[in-house]
Structure 1
């Protein structure tokens, strides 16, 4: 059995989409995570991440060597500035993002209808065409949110967050179980190790092991780009 990555994080390689959008910028689909923080380690290329929070709109430059991260609730859009933006993504709570802990910034009428949202978010029948379509649809909603925030409307984010929670509320039980058996269990294991060390018990040290994962055979169409995912389950 493969051991969880340190801290039960998730790791993916991300090559950000170089598809131009209506505003002339290339990049991915704006979205938000409800329970997971996310970190970027830039490997190659240059670009930025546009974000919407209670502080308004911001843009963080990304270049090789940059490490940038943000907490749950940060609406984010990756911009591929030179066409070669390549990032290692570290996700809190491995397993939760794959279990649906992300919501696209689709227009309000789609967010209000779970069936319409599911159709808009799906990658079918042509995955690249569908990924482009949902990216453009998410940009429509992102533009509206950005305009409302810029206009001084403090309810813009709250409205979006409430819609996102309603969309995902049936999954919260499954998410909690993944957290308990993943990140929480790993944190508690550290406490157990500390207790054993205080008692002079070296048992867990004698169980040391090395793990290795091979690159996946095919890159997936993710929210922000082509993903090299490393599933541990």
Structure 2
């Protein structure tokens, strides 16, 4: 069905190539010539991320140790992964890193530096910067800690930290609970994960602190789910200076 159209197009291109500068004006001649090379929209060269090659910032009070995989895992289909242990004033954390990621702990360097076996492979190149970012979060967690500030915006919205709860059972001894009053007829009580500290500097402010960034931010997202920010009155639970663009009210 499309063969006649393709044939006519090919004939048109062939006839156009026979045209000379005598039969058409000179300013139209470049339009009938075959393109020499394809041009891209971008005029600048691609700039790759340098996060993976940046050395880790290691405070003096933090101990950074890499444990090689055991010989028992050799010969398996899945390669064994090394384990990184980070110990600081706020605790001790560990993380497994892929087998193709190497950590150079040369004392002459500014800090531990990560490299990969084949930087031309997309997966290794992607995990290069990701692994470095995770390790830096562990170092910050055991030295300074991570925090999340939740702001409760709404009439009567407030939060408090209680030692007991009536609707949920404690998961470990001494667990505390966050009690939210955000417009529901029933109490909203959430158990604080182990290793996370919660406090209320103000009735409408909730501060979460802990060494593991994923645990802190996941608990903050769990609290935010009870009152997501809405765009008409700006009410809801906001995390770490979160803002929302207000919409105009629908007037019939």
Q: Please identify the structure whose Cα radius of gyration is greater.
A: 2
| Greater helix share, structure number | 1
- Given the two structures, how large is their TM-score scaled by the length of structure 2? 0.21
Higher relative contact order (CA 8 A, sep 6+): 1
- Given the two structures, how large is their TM-score scaled by the length of structure 1? 0.23
